[in-house]
Chains A and B, each alone.
Chain A
Amino acid sequence: MHRFADRPAARYIIGFALAVILTAIPFTVVGAGLLTGPPAYAVIAAGAVMQVIVHLVYFLHLDLKSTPVENVFFLGFAAVLIFIMVGGSLWIMTDLHHRMM
């Protein structure tokens, strides 16, 4: 018997199923009003981060063994740039909001 996970289509189907679950959870939580405020944001953020990882692993086939090291390096470099620019913008702008109150 073939192992299901060894077939190429299986990887996409597993990734798709995980993505559907990770989408359904935040939509249900927010849509049905199960949580509000910070706990709801936490669920949304956790779902988004996990789903991005699922997409990178199952759809873009990113892993540390077979992906060329340059690609992983550039992904990390982009992540650092994004962290500095997005984090910095939000930090400065929220600080500005406080001062204008």
Chain B
Amino acid sequence: MSVSAVLEEEEKKSLEAREFGFWIYLMTDAIIFALLFATYVVLSKNSAAGPTSNELFDLRHTAGETALLLISSLTFGFASIAQRAGNQTHVVRWLIVTLLLGLGFLAMEMVEFQGMIAKGAGPDVSGFLSAFYTLIGTHGLHVAFGCLGIVVMIGQIQVKGLTQPVRSRVFRLGLFWHFLDIVWIGIFSVVYLPGVM
């Protein structure tokens, strides 16, 4: 085997190890979110005479956030397909669309938080609201880091092209993005839908 072939083989192995490592990270993240969910469920009725979930949540707003995040998972999927086809322009284009949807989601979340705080429902009011802001805020922070990741990857694709390490990073970012969408399913099913009932 030539030297370059050996190097290529080594690089492939190292990237596979990173993908497995990233998967382990995602599982630990799933455990963190699961515990924040448990904390929320335990505290959700403890509104301490403050505003309750029924008064604060607006299902239409939640549906809008859900739509943005769900469509962004589809557009990231299209970026992955373009990457497999080796079409650099399309990868960047779909990543930009995904980024805009992610930023739109964050903007909607900010509007929601701001509206709630203006109504006197900040995180310091009750156990319910502390748990709410911690859970939703942690997910929002993850989406924000995902957006930062997309910006970095667009830069890397432009500078380095679709090299093997860049493809692997985009793949891992995709896992992260789809994972956040899964966590959001838990959020609307555990927090918002039971909250308005």
Contacts and interface: CB of A to CB of B under 8 A. Distances in A.
Nearest to A23: B66
Interface string B155-187: 000000000000000000001001101100110
Interface in A31-87: 31, 36, 40-41, 44-45, 47-48, 51-52, 55-56, 59-60, 68, 70-71, 74-75, 77-78, 81-82, 85-86
Contacts of B28: 78
- Give the interface SS of chain B, mostly helix, strand, loop or mixed: helix
A26 B193 contact: yes
Contacts, number: 101
A26 B84 CA distance: 35
Nearest to A78: B27
Contacts of A51: 185
Given A51-B185, A55-B185, A30 B197 contact: yes
B30 interface: yes
Interface residues of B, number: 39
B70 A23 contact: yes
B23 A71 contact: yes
A90 B27 contact: no
B24 interface: yes
B27 A74 contact: yes
B34 A82 contact: yes
A55 B182 contact: yes
B178 A59 contact: yes
- Give the interface SS of chain A, mostly helix, strand, loop or mixed: helix
B59 A31 contact: yes
Given A31-B59, A78-B30, A81-B31, A89 B42 contact: yes
A82 B74 contact: no
A26 B39 CA distance: 23
A85 B196 contact: no
Interface string A89-100: 110010000000
Contacts of B63: 23, 27, 31
A13 interface: yes
A78 B41 contact: no
B12 to A, nearest CB: 14
A9 interface: yes
Interface string B12-47: 000000001001100110110011011101100000
Contacts of B179: 60
17 contacts: A8-B81, A12-B77, A16-B70, A16-B71, A23-B63, A26-B189, A27-B63, A27-B193, A30-B197, A31-B59, A44-B194, A48-B190, A52-B186, A75-B27, A77-B27, A78-B27, A78-B28
Given A12-B81, A19-B73, A90-B38, 11 more contacts: A16-B73, A16-B74, A44-B189, A47-B189, A48-B189, A59-B73, A74-B24, A81-B31, A82-B31, A86-B37, A86-B38
